[in-house]
Amino acid sequence: MAPADSSLRWSLAGTEQQRSLLDDDEVDPTRELREVEYLHVRARSIISEVPRASRMPFRYTINPYRGCSHACTYCFARPTHEYLGLNGLEDFERRIVVKINAVQRLAAELARPSWGGEHIAMGTNTDPYQQAEGRYKLTRGILEKLAEARNPFSVLTKSTMILRDIDVFAAAAEHTEVKANLSIGTLDQAVWHTSEPGTPPPLRRVDAVARLNEAGVPCGVLIAPILPGISDGDEQLSAVVRACVEAGAVSISSIGLHLRPGVRELFMPWLERVRPDLVERYRTLYGSRSGYLARDEQERISARVRALVQEFGGCARSPRESRLTVVAEPRRRAPEPPHEQLPLVG
């Protein structure tokens, strides 16, 4: 890997120990653990602004990790690894970038007079509770800083590791707007096991929804992505919706699979192996260059999920509505957007 360059937003941290951030003294940024390599970098900024053209209901995000060991075949974030000079296939799953100074950077940025206390979303790119978090605990540190500042935040995850931090969520919820969302695409064991092999079992995630809500932490469910012909059957959708309603999900929304460039290249060969009978159907459904599901199919899936949520007595929301509880108006001028990330060359 090339030496750090002063023009990079991130710089490689080398092999120096970071005892204040790591779980123990044996962690080294160059070693491999379970075939996953962790690349330590120092971020020049940690709060990122969402592009103005985005339809997201939040303007600011934090992502302490880049890449994800959950290894979901359909992950929309895979192409972002290419910005770092890595690939979106094996590298995305096995070479995880860790922003080891994330907690310190956040403390500094929250203290700026220009920061207006806007909502910050986590889990917008890669999962903040993936395997790396068990060792580095950056997500917990970030949430603690947000809670101390009474800054509203939301987290989207597929991991039951979120329960480790239920104390931080509950404490923060007493003073500011907090929202958790679990992504649970299906309860079908075969579909789960083949499409997202690094994630906790779906029923454990359903239990996490119940436990968070019981602790006073508003938690909803994003049923996503729904895979046409694979996880969109009536019985499959009915099972996951009913379980989430019974778990007390404060909102339930759904999203059909996206196959953007960079994701399609991994997903389609996977589909050819596990469901060759669906290959032609997918080529038709995802014929557009954007990778979005055909509009009529999107509407069919969304309508079906909404009807099931209403049937079981739950609260149906759009993905946009479900991410936040209340979006507060900025108190002061927001910070200038950070510079565009440049590749971390390998």
Tens-digit pLDDT profile for residues 187-222: 999 999 999 988 999 999 999 999 999 999 999 999
**pLDDT tens readout for residues 252-310:** 999 999 998 888 888 999 999 999 999 999 999 998 767 888 888 889 999 999 999 99
Whole-number pLDDT of residue 19: 34
Higher pLDDT: 232 or 80? It is 232
142: closest CA among 220, 40, 82, 64?
64
What is the helix (H) or strand (E) element at residue 33, kind and residue range? strand 32-33
Do 66 and 84 meet the contact criterion of CB atoms below 8 Å apart? yes
DSSP 113: T
pTM: 0.83
Alpha-carbon span 104 to 132, nearest angstrom: 18
Identity of residue 322: S
Hey, which residues does 36 pair with through a beta bridge? 33
Look at residue 324 in the predicted model and tell me its pLDDT.
60
Torsion of CA 228, 234, 235, 240, to 10 degrees: 70
Sign of CA dihedral 124, 126, 127, 133: negative
Over the range 148-170, which residues count as b (16 or more CB within 10 Å of their CB) and which as e? ebebbbbbbbbbbbbbebbebbe
For residue 226, what pLDDT is reported? 96
Looking at residue 28, its amino acid is D
Q: Is residue 21's pLDDT more than 50?
A: no
Spatial CA neighbour of 312 closest among 243, 227, 229, 222 = 243
Three-class DSSP category at 122: strand
How far apart (Å, rounded) are the C-alpha atoms in residues 224 and 193? 15
What average pLDDT does the chain have? Answer: 84
Give 3-state DSSP helix, strand, coil % of the chain, rounded to 5. 35, 15, 50
Q: What is the predicted pLDDT for the residue at 124?
A: 87
Report the 10 Å Cβ neighbour count for 343.
15
